[in-house]
Chain A
Amino acid sequence: MRPLALLPEICLLVGAVVTLLAGSFLPRERQWVARLITVAALLAAGVSAAVALGGPPRTAMMTTFAVDTGTGILRLVVVAATLLVIGLGVDELAGTKRESETYTLLLLGALGALVMGGTIDLLVLIVGFLLGSIPLYGLIGMVRTPQAAEGVLKTYLLGALFGIVLMLGVTVLYGIGGATAYADLTVGLAGAPAAAVAFGLLGVLAGLLFKAGGVPGHFWVPDATQSAGTTAAAFLTTVPKVGALLAAHRLMTIVPGSVDWPLLVAVLAAVTMTLGNLAAFAQTDVRRLLGWSTVSQVGYLLLPVAVAGGTTAALASLLVYLGGYAVTNLTAFAVVAAVPGRRSVEDYAGLAASSPWLGAALVVSLLSLVGTPPTAVFLGKLSVFTAAWDGGLAWLVVVAAVNTVASLFYYLRWLAPAFRREEPTEPARRPAPYATAAAVLGGIGVLTLGLLVAGIAPMLGTVLVAP
């Protein structure tokens, strides 16, 4: 079993249970204790993940869970992202009816992402899918508005559908490959009929794309992002994606050469980024805009998945991009959380003048989403472009570059009003303090990751240092 190898996951699970229990007995004005428990659980998970980093690759839970560099980085990214989500959500959640429940769901959702990203067994992948999805439904529906009800219903129905498709895919792959563990499947699928392999693979991939928010499983993302609370929106556009994309990468390494899966994933990537960008063009609500922008980002993130087997740099570039994307996206959401009264891009007029720090965080995060140096996503884009070109998908890199230019347009539509000089019509409310701090912290993180990755890279182990 080697339970110690799963210490970070255990920390999250125990944290979720204790938070829920504590929250049930604490009076409303002392729910901050539940928050502390959650943060402590996350910190414990983060520390144990950092300690485990750099150890030799091994497996846990009867060879269904890989503890390698990929999992190690995934744990750090998920833990850091969840901490940032809580930081930006304190203002919104503190003292509300369902504060501790929200924290519990965040922890369980994070755990689901870890299980998905770390597993090397199709059956555990199903468990991870469910564990990651069900808390999301709760999180989206936590604010009781008609819009949120619509968002959660949409997410739930799509989740149920794609969950079944995932299980169908797993069943087919098990049927023709004779196993569910990736190591055995590699052998089992080698001689299997290509059509059946492609069918099963598509099913599993579709389930993962639902979690990642890529085409064809993307329909829920903009609605859920717009209608859910900011905390939930920030979480569901970041953490599940991280787990699902690593899971997709692991899945792609077992597919036999009889199926041209790089092309399949490449086409999905191209469609995802193009659709996300085109849809984001017309948005005026910043949450919906960010929702579509996260769809387009999944398109770029699928580049290294498409070349998963072809080049050694694919995994490294995926991890770099995932880390950069997580902190960047959360910084943008932290700005949104800091000024909850501003909904449309026009509402942001004069933001930089009234709160320069928020303006700076917004510039850094949006320019990072575009991929301007010296930010974290620039480094991610540079490495995934390089990996994809190296893997023979130069055409996809060109598509991604054109999409990047197109994306600049709608990010600027948000940035331009924020930096316009405008006298406020009504006295501006003070921005939420915790969310502002999270935004500034996130902005610093974006720049630090972009500039000082040299100092971080050696810590990431050999995977990232290899060209």
Chain B
Amino acid sequence: MLSLIVFLPLGAAAVLAVLPAIPDRAARWTWVAVALADLALVGVVLAGYESPAEGGLAYEERLRWIPSVGSSYHVGVDGLSLPLVALTAVVFLACAVYALREDRRPRVQAALFLFLQSVCLGVFVAQDLILFFLFFDLSIVGMYFVIAGWGHGNAARSALKFFLYTFLGSLALLLGFIGLYLAAEPHTFDIPELVAAAPLADNPGVGGLVLAAILLGLAIKTPTVPFHTWLPPAHTDAPAIGSAVLAAVLLKLGTYGFVRIAMPALPDAWQAWAWVLITIGVVSVVYGALVALAQTDVKRMIAYTSVNHMGYVVLGVGAAGLVGSAAAREVAVTGAVTQMVSHGLITGALFLLAGVLQERAGTYEMAEYGGLAEPAPRYAALFAVAAFASLGLPAFTGFIAEFQIFAGSIGTTAAAALALPGILITAALFLRALQRLLTGPPQGRAVGFADVGVREGLPIGGLLALALLFGIIPWPLLDLITPGAETVVDLVSR
């Protein structure tokens, strides 16, 4: 079942790629149909999902693959990965609908995004380090072509920077994986086996180095300060749907790696490094918010709020490595995973909204707009909702996530309170952006700005509706995540 979900988009991508005769219209609708079918399959999995026993997996599949290096095709989901699988399917469907009017090589674009969808889903279901790395690396390749092929501005340069930077991260990750493999007896790349063995527990020196390599790889992908410099140019020059996928899904590959691999497989090293992570988290939160505040370009501003939001996740998982009440740490990890989902929904919507600006008026500069609420009321409403959701207003998932992260991590260490100003600054910057873009009399390029239509409103509204739904009724999401978070906290406390 999981294999079908992962490889269905890939198969469709292959068909679209090798048949140049497919007309553009058919290609665009095929993409939507396949994304919808994949989401339906994820829905079936969600409906039939029951939390597995601690440390277990649901929908597990395992096949021989590369026995010579102890690697197998092993996939499965649990409370940590299933929400992200669902998020991926939702975000890609939103992008497919949003791109229905794309006129630049729509067939190739559809194939590329379906390919990206496959590899992103693959990362979340992979239970083998080599399989994880394979999908992780291919996501970089896919994104490179998205930015270079459909970007604007200085796209070639941004794409190159993105590729080089994240490829450096993925190689650091590979070194860490090799270290884990060699430390395990018998040698294996299988994640559950490595987690059960926790191979470097009695070797703090090597364990620290291996964790450092893995953390470097994941931190570049996440990205956290000081490895975030690839993110703003990549976002600014990527196409709208590329930015949405990059922020909503690709960044999660990094943070997901923390809870899937780094924490459970290297518990001792994680505990030793917890303070480093908390520091990085706090700095990312505050620094990301401050730099976002200084931006005049809407898309760059949203990009820096991603650094801020991912900082909360790092803070939450870092606090889980400290000695303290297990309940508080579970809350922090649950909040961190919720934040991944929440950020995906909300920031995905924000980037699509920024894409509307570029499509209509050709610029992201806030100074070029003003009073958009009058000519484009629907756009203004959607933007306002997304901004409030992103700054953590109650009734949206962002609030649920950040509240839990703070409750959990401050309950573990008071130092986490240092990140609280991040919330204030984010609120200030979003309110300022709303004021500049939406209020007042229409001026600059806002004059004659066409309002969002169904094709744009549906995906943006859909993402925000989900953020609202799980903000008001969070228990289905939390019930899914909490058992997984409990397992991780137990494992990291060994």
Q: Which residues of A contact B (CB under 8 A)?
A: 316, 356, 367, 370, 372-374, 378-379, 382-383, 385-386, 389-390, 397-398, 401-402, 404-405, 408-409, 412, 416, 419-421, 453-454, 457, 464-467
Contacts and interface: CB of A to CB of B under 8 A. Distances in A.
B141 A372 contact: yes
5 contacts: A372-B141, A405-B164, A409-B160, A416-B159, A467-B70
A464 B149 CA distance: 41
A317 B137 CA distance: 21
Nearest to B156: A416
Contacts of B187: 467
B175 A405 contact: no
* Interface size range on B against A: 35 or more
A457 B65 CA distance: 10
B178 A382 contact: yes
Contact of B186 (A382, A401, A408, A467): A467
Interface string B64-86: 11111110000000000000000
B148 interface: yes
Contacts of B137: 372-373
A382 B174 CA distance: 8
A180 B403 CA distance: 75
Contacts of B130: 373, 382
Interface stretch (B165-173, B232-240, B318-326, B334-342): B165-173
B160 A454 contact: no
A454 B149 CA distance: 35
Given A385-B178, A390-B182, A408-B167, A416 B160 contact: yes
Most chain A CB within 10 A, of B66, B68, B70, B168, is at B68
Most chain B CB within 10 A, of A379, A412, A419, is at A412
Most chain A CB within 10 A, of B66, B159, B164, is at B66
B470 interface: no
Contact of B175 (A356, A372, A373, A397): A397
A385 B173 CA distance: 13
Contact of A454 (B65, B141, B181): B65
Contact of B67 (A378, A397, A421, A465): A465
Interface of B: 20, 64-70, 105, 130, 133-134, 137-138, 141, 145, 148-149, 156, 159-160, 163-164, 167-168, 171-172, 174-175, 178-179, 181-182, 186-187
A385 B66 contact: no
Nearest to B165: A405
Determine chain A's interface SS by DSSP, over half rule. helix
A378 B167 CA distance: 13
Most chain B CB within 10 A, of A372, A390, A409, is at A372
B174 A385 contact: yes
B265 to A, nearest CB: 17
Contact of B68 (A370, A385, A453): A453
A412 B160 contact: yes
A316 B68 CA distance: 9
A125 B175 CA distance: 36
Given A386-B69, A398-B175, A408-B163, 20 more contacts: A367-B141, A370-B167, A373-B130, A373-B133, A373-B137, A382-B130, A383-B69, A386-B181, A389-B179, A389-B182, A390-B182, A401-B174, A408-B164, A409-B164, A412-B163, A416-B160, A421-B149, A453-B68, A457-B67, A467-B68
A370 B187 CA distance: 25
B283 to A, nearest CB: 25
A451 B64 CA distance: 12
Contacts of A457: 66-68
B145 A419 contact: yes
Contact of B134 (A374, A397, A401): A374
Contacts of A372: 137-138, 141
A54 B230 CA distance: 50
Nearest to A401: B171
A463 B51 CA distance: 42
Contacts of A397: 175, 178
Contacts of B148: 416, 419
A444 B134 CA distance: 17
A466 B70 CA distance: 10
Nearest to B160: A412
B61 to A, nearest CB: 15
B162 to A, nearest CB: 11
A340 B67 CA distance: 41
Contacts of A408: 163-164, 167
A322 B302 CA distance: 47
A405 B69 contact: no
Contacts of A409: 160, 164
Most chain A CB within 10 A, of B65, B105, B167, is at B167
